[in-house]
Structure 1
Amino acid sequence: MDAAAQFTLDQRDDGRALLSIEGALLVSSIGALDNEFNRLDADISVIDISGVNEIDTIGAWVMVRLADRHEAEIVGANDRAARLLNAVQDASGDAGDGPVRDPVWIRVPKAMGELVFDMRAGIIGVVGFLGRVLIGMGRLIRNPSRFPLKATVRQMELVGVSALPIIGLMSFLIGIVIAQQGAVQLEQFGAESLTINLVGRITLRELGVLMTAIMVAGRSGSAFAAQLGTMKLTEEVDAMRTIGISPAERLVIPRILACTFMMVLLGFYSSVVAIIGGAVVGQFALGIPFFTFLERIQEVVPTHDMWVGLIKAPVFGLIIGLAGCYHGMKVEGNSEQVGLRTTMAVVSAIFAVIVLDAFFAVFFTEIGWG
């Protein structure tokens, strides 16, 4: 076994020191020697390793670091030591660890292309998922005894009944804001009474169902994704398939049906509560009696405005339920995917709802329900 390295320090005529090292510079013995090197106060100009009989990568790295610290020259290295020292010096350059970034005019189009491609793959996946859900619905229609009634009722309670307080409060405040801000603007034209038209039409036709859809997406859509994602990670979904139970029938369809049906009720409930909020502002800020406000709503709001909201509500509910369940069933790998897919479910559902709302606005205007 080679002896541990030792060193001597000799003073040169120029005032700098010559460090001579003898023995083995190996990982097994270099630790104590390195500590002594760190305590050296002398200004070293030359490091002589001609007496070193064995050296490894760690020993070479310690020598290179010592030479860099003192700006010294390493002399007396044999062929093996010289190869190791050169390799360590090349590896300890100042080059960055990360890859070279492309210019911004290349990165931006490239990122947009990847986003569009991922969106295309996502649309194909959602359409395929919807197809599997429709197949499951067809099997349930042929075999009504298999319909998961209890699971559907439970999800309807979670999506609808449990959401009544928060949606009611949100809608009431929205009605107050619309009535107050609308009255301020209409007052400039002496038309404060038209606040009733504004509140009635915008809540029944647009904001009631739209804000409800956004709230349901954030509340229930995220819950669907998190619940199903967790079940995927714990292999409960695989266990259901193993024992012959269809996850689409037992997990996905009850959630989608509950979200679709309850959005109709929640959207109408939201519109009614928003109108009540507007009536409260009319009573205390505009001098319009509460019940007069409500009676005028029936006169100035066309019936088709209510039907517009009721037609949009189940479509929004279907989109929210589909997005939540799709992303939940796509979870795989680790728990980080649950949070990622939950976020994607909420964002994609809200985005799709807003896009569809714009489409519905143009469509209903074209058919004369503007």
Structure 2
Amino acid sequence: MREWAQLQVDTGDDGAQRVAVSGPLTISSIALIDSQFRALEGDVASIDLSGVTDMDTIGAWTVHRACKRLGTEIIGPSDKASNLIETVASAASDAPMAPERLPVVERVLVEVGDKTRNAWAGTKSVVGFLGVVLIAMKDILRHPSRFRTKAVVHQLELVGVSSLPIIGLMSFLIGIVVAQQGAAQLAQFGAETLTINLTGRLATRELGVLMTAIMVAGRSGSAFAAQIGTMNLTEEIDAMRTIGVDPVEALVIPRILAAVFMMLLLGFFSIVLVIVGGATISSVTLGIPFFTFLERIQEVVPTYDLWVALIKAPVFGLIVAMAGCYQGMQVEGNSEEVGTRTTKAVVQAIFAVIVLDAFFAVFFTELGWA
């Protein structure tokens, strides 16, 4: 049967309290009297430890904390108890548990400085990674036998073929939403037929490729970061370097090539499905025949809109693949880092794609492709 520590308080004629502790003062038996120690108030003359049969660091700390708070003395401790209490007392610190908070202005300036420094360091790291990729591509061009055809084909399947159902469904539904909402607004001006122009140009120039890039970032970009990050964490990449295999050539280049090439096809596929979705809802709600909608698309959508989309698509694919592979190569420390870097890869890829899309919009407008 477990023996519990006990605390007894006697009040003398002078009004001073004398505390006597008995039993083992250890982590397994001190629970019942810890609250009693905390409740001690007033004039405590002494704490008698002569009845203590055993003591560990927790017991010594409890006694030391009570003595320090009450300003009392300890009597009757054993040699072991005395040594433990002295050790705990020498290790005690009055330092605050949390550092003092700086004023708001200083905190803001420090935070801005840290973010700026980290952004600059991250930019240099990304540029360095891009340089490593370019060097690896140059080496492959000089030695075509090092090109990993099977790896590229495998990534083409993962990035492209496996994405067709979800991208097709998403694009079809977006086409329905754009046509339906566009028609609802244009009906106020009696221009429902211009829904064809709205859906065709918006799908071809912007929505098809942009939404595909976002989907590829969430699906394939995150997969790149997680796969390479896990390999980095389990030291598989270090093992590849040890046996003379360049991880950039084996892991990064195939993923980049697959993303760049498949974004062209997936972007075109998405444009077609957006238009089909718009034609479907228009035939149901606006009374515009399905094939009439498609024929009209050829008249109202200029050819350069398609070229704009096909120029943007591989650039978006490069950004998504670079973000995923870069963040995967930065994983180190523990498995939590894999999740953190995967999240960063998706967020950075989507942010970069949207920023580049805005740049392309201004650029092609200046060229007269508006």
TM-score normalised to structure 2 length: 0.84
Q: Quick check: 125-134 or 303-312, which moved more?
A: 125-134
Q: 2:67–2:74: 8 Å Cα contact kept in structure 1?
A: no
Q: How does 1:85-100 map to 2 (within 5 A)?
A: 96-100=96-100
Unmatched tracts of structure 2, length 5 or more: 77-81
Retained in 1: the 8 A contact 2:25–2:56?
A: no
Distance 1:165 1:10, change over 3 A: closer
Q: State percent identity of aligned pairs.
A: 61
* Partner in structure 2 of residue 264 of structure 1: 264
Letter in 1 for 2:281: V
Deviation of 1:187 after TM superposition, in Å, equals 0.4
Spell out the pairing of 1:79-118 with structure 2 (5 A cutoff).
Answer: 96-118=96-118
Shift of 1:30: 3.7
Residues 333 and 296 of structure 1: is their aligned pair in 2 closer, same or farther, counting only changes over 3 Å?
A: same
Amino acid at match of 1:265: L
Q: Give 1:266 shift.
A: 0.4
The 5 Å alignment of 1:266-281 reads 266-281=266-281
Distance, in Å, in 2 between the alignment partners of 1:299 and 1:257 is 34
For each residue in 1:259-304, what CA deviation from the matched residue of structure 2 results, as whole angstroms up to 9, or x when unmatched?
0000000011001000000001110011100000000000001110
Aligned counterpart, 2:46: 48
1:72–1:138 distance in 2 versus 1, CA, 3 Å: closer
Q: For residue 18 of structure 2, what is the aligned residue in structure 1?
A: 19
Go from structure 1 to structure 2 and tell me whether the alpha carbon gap of 1:234 and 1:36 turns closer, same or farther (over 3 Å shift).
closer
Aligned to 1:170: 170
Q: Aligned equivalents of 1:29 and 1:210: distance in 2?
A: 70
Higher mean displacement: 137-146 or 338-347: 137-146
In structure 1, how many angstroms separate the alpha carbons of the residues matched to 2:235 and 2:290? 56
Q: Could you tell me which amino acid in structure 1 is paired with residue 196 of structure 2?
A: I
Distance 2:252 2:6 in 1: 73
Counterpart secondary structure, 1:202? helix
Q: Distance in 1 between matches of 2:170 and 2:32?
A: 71
2:170 corresponds to 1:204: no
Structure 1 residue runs without a partner (length 5+): none
Distance 1:244 1:109 in 2: 47
In 2 relative to 1, CA 92–259 (structure 1 residues): closer, same or farther, beyond 3 Å? same
Give the 3 Å change call, closer, same or farther, for CA 90–124 of structure 1 in structure 2: closer
Matched residues in 2 for 1:368 and 1:310: separation? 17
Matched, 1:286 2:277: no
Structure 1 residue 59, shift from structure 2 partner: 6.6
Match of residue 188 from structure 2:
188
The separation in 2 between residues aligned to 1:167 and 1:331, in whole angstroms, is 29
Q: How far does residue 67 in structure 1 lie from its aligned partner after superposition?
A: 6.1
Question: Are the equivalent residues in 2 in contact too, given 1:50–1:76 (CA < 8 A)?
Answer: yes
Classify the secondary structure of the residue corresponding to 1:188.
helix
Seen in structure 2, the aligned counterparts of structure 1 residues 231 and 56 have a Cα distance that, compared at 3 Å, is closer
Q: CA RMSD in A?
A: 3.6
Change in Cα spacing, 1:226 to 1:76, as seen in structure 2 (3 Å) is closer
Structure 1 position 134 matched with structure 2 position 143: no
Q: Does the 8 Å CA contact 1:279/1:290 hold for their aligned counterparts?
A: yes
**Maintained 8 Å contact 1:151/1:254:** yes
Aligned equivalent of 1:233: 233
Instruction: After superposition, give the CA deviation of every residue in 1:43-80 in whole Å (9 maximum; x if it has no partner).
Output: 9843335997x999867644455569xx96625879xx
Determine the structure 2 residue equivalent to 1:354.
354
TM-score norm. by structure 1 comes to: 0.84
For 2:215 and 2:311, how far apart are their aligned partners in 1?
18
Do the aligned partners of residues 77 and 244 (structure 1) sit closer, same or farther apart at CA in structure 2, a change above 3 Å counting? same
In 2, Cα distance between equivalents of 1:44 and 1:230: 60
What residue number does 1:245 align with?
Answer: 245
